[in-house]
């Protein structure tokens, strides 16, 4: 089940972003698929496997922060993260 989900993640990324998707991303896709499996509530019980293991009902705030796996992202310049400005003509 997890490997099928990881394969689907890789195929989805390969269809939408073929220039950035590579076979060496397989371990990351499996890791993300495991994360989704452990935190997604089941239809029958409304509890995730992590909830069943811990015996508590967790909130789904982790799932609200998930993004599409494999999509291109951009890193914010550290100067902007600290609240400083970048010179106007600097690339």
Per-residue pLDDT of 9-32, as tens digits, reads 999 999 999 988 888 999 999 999
Which of 24, 15, 5 shows the shortest CA–CA distance to 66? 5
Distance CA 44, CA 41 (A): 9
Dihedral, CA of residue 74, residue 64, residue 53 and residue 56, to nearest 10: 140
pTM: 0.74
Per-residue pLDDT of 25-78, as tens digits, reads 999 999 999 999 988 888 898 888 888 888 888 777 778 888 899 888 887 778
């Amino acid at each position: 089940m997890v490997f099928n989900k990881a394969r689907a993640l890789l195929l989805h990324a390969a269809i939408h972003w073929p220039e950035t998707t590579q076979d060496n991303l397989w371990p990351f896709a499996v890791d993300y698929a495991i994360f989704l499996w452990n935190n997604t509530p089941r239809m029958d019980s409304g509890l995730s496997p992590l909830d069943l293991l811990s015996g508590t009902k967790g909130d789904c705030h982790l799932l609200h922060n998930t993004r599409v796996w494999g999509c291109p992202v951009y890193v914010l310049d550290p100067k902007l993260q600290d609240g400083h400005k970048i010179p106007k003509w600097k690339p």
